[in-house]
Amino acid sequence: MRDPDCIFCKIVAGELPATIVDEDERTVCFMDIAPATRGHALVVPREHSADLLSIEADDLAAVNLAAQRLAVRVKDRLAADGVNLMNSCGAVAFQTVFHFHLHVIPRYEGDGLRLPWVPAPGDADEIAAAAQELGRQ
């Protein structure tokens, strides 16, 4: 179902300009207008879903396969040294466009991107407590 106020729905419908680099029955892939690195692209499902929690399983699978396809190209054609796939779910997690999308971010030696957290050993009891809540109940 399409959302009339959604910019990515408009891109999928051809009503807003975008530089499309790949598409299939379920997905469209276009260049991000504010790239983190050279070749940064977004993969979206044609069908509108706000986020990871609401996207339909077949669309989620198709978006991931399309992202893998693009990741292969990023390495082969742009000579990237690595790739980050990223999804933000919720405003607190940096989501700004509420049509599900996967960022495909080519990574280059010395590109300067950093993890959004500083890895450090966690508290074992707190990790175990969180695991208890997360595990199958």
Q: Are strands 27-31 and 82-86 parallel, antiparallel or unpaired?
A: unpaired
Determine whether 101 is an active site residue: yes
Q: What is the DSSP string of 104-120?
A: EEEE-TT-----SS---
Instruction: Please report, as ranges, the residues that interact with ligand AMP according to CB under 6 A.
Output: 7, 16, 18, 30, 32-34, 42, 88, 94-97
Catalytic pick among 40, 48, 101, 103: 101
Q: Select the span of 2-10, 17-25, 70-78, 85-93 touching Zn ion (CB under 5 A).
A: 2-10
What are the structure tokens assigned to 92, written together?
Answer: 């607190």
Half-sphere exposure of 127 (CA within 13 A, CB side): 5
Binding partner of residue 6 among ligand AMP, Zn ion, none, CB cut-off 5 to 8 Å per kind: Zn ion
Whether the Cβ atoms of residue 134 and residue 41 lie closer than 8 Å to each other: no
**What's the token pair of residue 12?**
């999928």
Which of ligand AMP, Zn ion, none is residue 58 near (CB under 5 to 8 Å by kind)? none
Q: How many residues does the chain have?
A: 137
Nearest to 31 by CA among 65, 92, 90, 78: 78
Between residues 34 and 128, which has the closer beta carbon with respect to ligand AMP?
34
Q: Could you say which of ligand AMP, Zn ion, none residue 20 binds, taking C-beta under 5 to 8 angstroms by partner kind?
A: none
Minimum CB distance to Zn ion smaller for 2 or for 38: 2
Question: Cβ 35 to ligand AMP, closest distance in Å?
Answer: 8
- Determine, following the binding rule CB under 5 A, whether residue 98 of this chain makes contact with Zn ion: no
> Which residues are designated catalytic?
101
